[in-house]
């Protein structure tokens, strides 16, 4: 790309760096920042900040509201709700899915919340003959899946009762589910033991964005004959560590410096 006359390459790079830093600041703000907030945090002169915001706005990367707040623009919003954002998430998590697969031998899944259901968007199959089911694209209830319980523990709306009974061990009352979710939130990972299908055990851990919100969930699934209590505890530690590494890559920093206990 040609650099305008009178502008050094170093100066152009600095301008890009400043604009990129400004955009990241807007995207990672818990509340939409105002012009004054951005000037205070960036240390930029008013004229420089105004020019940068105008440029970002022209390209659809930010949007300045009537109330003075600066929000992500339509280009960012379209990407966040497109399949490409899922592809980016899958690419980010792929090495961790593979690592968990190699370490456990079991089925590894990545899921997002769609409405009041979880949709599994990536999978690495187990290495055993028994237990290979392709869950990708399937949407399942939150109350009887470990993945769903992760989202509920992260603040997703609790389902209204009565809850569908999938097996004799499904939690079918909101009060019992709420108790289970409290344990999940405190422990840092969820378990569903024969609640979706008889003999099917799954454990799951949250993937968090920089804001702390749960944007995805990571799971290990296998038959109860292999996922014994001792194996579950061992795998839970691996799962929580992998989910934490992904969350850190997405900018999340836990306040207490801990990812959760297994």
Q: pLDDT at position 232, please? A: 98
Structure confidence at residue 104 (pLDDT): 97
Give Cα 43 distance to the centre of its chain: 31
| pTM for this entry | 0.70
Residue 242 confidence (pLDDT): 97
3-class state of residue 191 by DSSP: strand
Regions in the chain scoring below 50 on pLDDT: 1-9, 260-262
pLDDT at 189: 98
Q: How far apart, in whole angstroms, are the C-alpha atoms of residue 134 and residue 186?
A: 31
Identify the pLDDT of residue 162: 85
pLDDT tens for each residue of 140-167: 999 999 999 999 999 999 998 789 999 9
Q: What confidence score (pLDDT) does residue 79 get?
A: 64
Distance CA 26, CA 45 (A): 17
- What pLDDT, on a 0 to 100 scale, did the predictor assign at position 146? 98
Q: Report domain 9-78's class.
A: mainly alpha
Burial letters for 237-255: b for 16+ Cβ neighbours within 10 Å, e otherwise? ebbbbbbbbbbeebebeee
pLDDT in tens, 49-91: 999 999 998 988 888 887 888 988 877 766 665 555 678 889 9
Asked if domains 9-78 and 82-249 share a fold, the reply is: no
| Short-list 106, 129, 108, CA closest to 120 | 108
The pLDDT of residue 227: 96
Q: Residue 245's pLDDT is what? A: 96
Taking domain 82-249, whether its CATH number is 3.40.50.360 is answered by: no
Where do the domains of the chain lie? 9-78, 82-249
Please tell me the predicted confidence (pLDDT) of residue 63. Answer: 86
């Amino acid at each position: 790309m040609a650099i305008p006359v009178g502008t050094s390459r170093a100066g152009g790079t600095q301008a890009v760096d400043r604009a990129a830093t400004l955009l990241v600041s807007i995207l990672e703000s818990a509340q939409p920042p105002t012009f004054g907030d951005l000037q205070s945090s960036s240390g930029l002169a008013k004229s420089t900040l105004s020019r940068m915001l105008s440029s970002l706005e022209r390209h659809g990367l930010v949007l300045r509201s009537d109330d003075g707040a600066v929000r992500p623009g339509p280009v960012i919003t379209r990407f966040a709700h497109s399949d490409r954002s899922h592809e980016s998430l899958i690419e980010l998590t792929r090495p961790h899915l593979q690592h968990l697969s190699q370490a456990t031998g079991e089925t590894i899944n990545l899921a997002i919340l769609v409405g009041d259901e979880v949709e599994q968007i990536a999978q690495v199959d187990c290495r055993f003959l028994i237990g290979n089911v392709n869950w990708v694209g399937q949407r399942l209830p939150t109350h009887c899946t470990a993945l769903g319980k992760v989202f509920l523990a992260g603040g997703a709306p609790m389902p209204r009762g009565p809850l569908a009974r999938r097996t004799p061990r499904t939690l079918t009352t909101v009060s019992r589910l709420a108790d289970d979710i409290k344990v999940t939130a405190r422990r840092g990972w969820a378990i569903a033991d024969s609640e979706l299908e008889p003999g099917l055990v799954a454990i799951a851990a949250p993937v968090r964005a920089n804001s702390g919100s749960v944007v995805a969930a990571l799971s290990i699934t296998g038959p109860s004959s292999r996922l014994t209590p001792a194996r579950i505890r061992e795998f839970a530690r691996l799962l929580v560590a992998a989910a934490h590494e992904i969350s850190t890559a997405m900018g999340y920093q836990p306040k207490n410096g801990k990812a959760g206990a297994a």
